[in-house]
Structure 1
Amino acid sequence: MLELKDKWVLVTGASRGIGREIALAMAKYGANVIVHSRKREHTEDLVEEIKGHGVKAFSVAAELSEEEEVRKMADAVLKK
Structure 2
Amino acid sequence: MPTWVAAVIALGALAATYFLCWRPMIQRRGHCGFAASDRGDDPDREIAELRQELRALRTETTPDGRAADPLGR
TM range (shorter): under 0.3
Structure ranking higher in helix proportion:
2
Q: TM-score, normalised by structure 2?
A: 0.22
- Determine which structure has the larger strand proportion and give its number: 1
Pick the structure with greater CA Rg: 2
| Structure number with higher relative contact order (C-alpha < 8 Å, ≥ 6 residues apart) | 1
